[in-house]
């Protein structure tokens, strides 16, 4: 039991000094040191720490009231690993020397995700200092592989399924808010599935004079197949592609109008003179509510300077689809692959390699026309508490939106442990996550501490 209060800025000035870069095989010791530091912080806050080894980097667990099955049980998620720092010369301050400038704290990991999950630990410590017998069960799970795809985390969830499935919901902050006074609660995420298509024609590049005209050019076949995958109106031309997709509720479209972004400002930001979105969705809606099929890269033939008169032997394209709730990565992969294979002309051999994907996610807040009758009551209470406290702390009620990006572990928590998530965004569009000069807004984190404290306190048993 502890009664230590903590200050988020002092904590981060220590924590952000550990270069725990999961993508760097030479940073293994830093990963372990980051995990030890975090375990120490949890202990100081009043939770019982454990560093759980996995096939990859360890998961840091902190337990409070672990033997109390009668209490509401919150699972708090975060990741202590960070992205690489290069290009180093573009940093204005050293990435692992946390530096305060104009109300922001600069360091790798400040926003993604050490600042936001340290908020949860500090809030817990401060609440416990005030209420040492807090009638609440809390389990912190902080992984060290999020930036490299969370490879070991689903197995960790399966290994701890009995313990974690007693949780009422997962609380996390690893999403973006549009502005420091406009906090987003993310209620949906797109899934993703991808493939690489390789086409082969003749057994080598051919002289386009001697052999040109006799064979199907693989680049031409590639262009024709790719062009066939969308209709002129922008919709995806794959049979059954949109089957089962969950359309946004009317209130979700209304909610989006509260974002500071307009179609005009979005066009300017992107540097395009027109947006191109699925019929029925404006550009801002499409990134959140509609699935896509995108070409990420394609190639083949001669790419050097000047000309080289050949019929190439090979061509390739990399494709990914973003999926909305109601769509399944495996089923979408099958539909897109069969559509492609059916369109390969005679004289061309095609092979498709799948790329790793993850499912989409959706949770409906309480008191909406589409709120499920069996919504977990503790989660409903947490949504209500978050709404009230965010309105007070930040001067505006939260904006409930779906995000266009994908976080695979959220759906893994739901599928393996039966928990939905409350996701509160603590980084901003100019936090430069994954980029040089990553930073976090200090006042936002301080209000974040108050927000977490209030949520934990309000869902504690009476």
Report the nearest approach of Zn ion to the CB of residue 113 (Å): 7
Q: Which is nearer to Zn ion, 174 or 255 (CB)?
A: 174
Q: Which is nearer to Zn ion, 112 or 411 (CB)?
A: 112
Write out the binding residues for Zn ion, residues 34-73 only, by CB under 5 A. none
Q: Which stretch binds Zn ion (CB under 5 A): 26-34, 111-119, 236-244, 294-302?
A: 111-119
Structure tokens that stand for 369 in this block: 């026309």
Closest residue to Zn ion in the complex (CB)? 112
- Could you give the count of Cα atoms lying within 13 Å of 361 in the half-sphere of its Cβ? 26
Q: Which stretch binds Zn ion (CB under 5 A): 20-28, 33-41, 107-115, 119-127?
A: 107-115
Structure tokens that stand for 186 in this block: 């993310």
Report the nearest approach of Zn ion to the CB of residue 115 (Å): 12
Q: Which is nearer to Zn ion, 24 or 163 (CB)?
A: 24
Q: Which is nearer to Zn ion, 124 or 432 (CB)?
A: 432
The residue count of the chain comes to 462
Report the nearest approach of Zn ion to the CB of residue 74 (Å): 23
Report the nearest approach of Zn ion to the CB of residue 440 (Å): 13
CB 48 within 8 A of CB 64: yes
Q: Which stretch binds Zn ion (CB under 5 A): 37-45, 105-113, 390-398, 404-412?
A: 105-113
Contact pick of 81, 112, 143, 453 for Zn ion (by CB under 5 A): 112
Q: Which is nearer to Zn ion, 112 or 285 (CB)?
A: 112
Tell me, by CB under 5 A, how many residues bind Zn ion.
1
Report the nearest approach of Zn ion to the CB of residue 290 (Å): 24
Q: Which stretch binds Zn ion (CB under 5 A): 70-78, 106-114, 189-197, 356-364?
A: 106-114
Residues forming the site for Zn ion (CB under 5 A): 112
């Amino acid at each position: 039991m502890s009664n230590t209060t903590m200050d988020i800025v002092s904590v981060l000035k220590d924590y952000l000094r550990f270069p725990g870069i999961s993508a760097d095989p030479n940073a293994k010791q830093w990963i372990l040191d980051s995990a030890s530091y975090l375990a120490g912080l949890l202990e100081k806050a009043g939770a019982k720490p454990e560093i759980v080894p996995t096939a990859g980097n360890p998961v840091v667990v902190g337990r409070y009231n672990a033997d109390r099955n009668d209490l509401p049980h919150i699972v708090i998620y975060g990741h202590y690993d960070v992205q690489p720092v290069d290009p180093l010369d573009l940093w204005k301050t050293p990435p692992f020397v946390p530096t305060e400038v104009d109300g922001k704290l600069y360091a790798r990991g400040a926003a993604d995700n050490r600042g936001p999950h340290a908020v949860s630990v500090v809030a817990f410590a401060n609440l416990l200092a005030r209420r040492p017998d807090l009638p609440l069960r809390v389990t912190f799970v902080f992984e060290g592989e999020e930036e490299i795809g969370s490879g070991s985390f689903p197995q960790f969830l399966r290994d701890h399924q009995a313990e974690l499935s007693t949780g009422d919901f997962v609380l996390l902050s690893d999403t973006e808010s549009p502005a420091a006074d406009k906090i987003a609660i993310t209620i949906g995420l797109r899934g993703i599935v991808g493939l690489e298509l390789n086409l082969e024609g003749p057994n080598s590049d051919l002289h386009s004079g001697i052999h040109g005209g006799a064979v199907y050019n693989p680049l031409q076949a590639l262009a024709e197949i790719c062009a066939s995958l969308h209709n002129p109106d922008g919709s995806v031309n794959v049979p059954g592609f949109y089957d089962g997709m969950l359309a946004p509720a009317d209130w979700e479209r209304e909610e989006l109008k509260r974002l500071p972004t307009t179609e005009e400002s979005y066009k300017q930001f992107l540097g395009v003179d027109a947006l191109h979105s699925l019929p029925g969705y404006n550009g801002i809606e499409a990134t959140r509510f509609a699935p896509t099929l995108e070409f990420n890269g394609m190639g083949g033939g001669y790419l050097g300077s000047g000309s080289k008169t050949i019929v190439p032997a090979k061509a390739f394209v990399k494709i990914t689809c973003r999926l909305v709730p109601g769509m399944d990565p495996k089923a979408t992969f099958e539909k897109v692959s069969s559509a492609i294979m059916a369109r390969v002309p005679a004289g061309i051999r095609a092979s498709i390699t799948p790329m790793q994907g993850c499912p989409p996610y959706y949770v409906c807040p309480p008191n909406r026309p589409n709120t499920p009758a069996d919504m977990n009551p503790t989660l409903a209470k947490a949504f209500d508490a978050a709404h009230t406290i965010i309105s007070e702390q930040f001067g505006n009620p939260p904006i409930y939106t779906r995000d266009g990006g994908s976080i695979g572990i959220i759906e893994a928590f739901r599928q393996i442990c039966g928990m939905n998530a409350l996701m509160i965004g603590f980084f901003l569009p100019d936090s430069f996550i994954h980029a040089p000069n990553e930073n976090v807004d200090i006042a936002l984190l301080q209000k974040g501490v108050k927000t977490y404290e209030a949520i934990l306190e309000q869902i504690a048993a009476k």
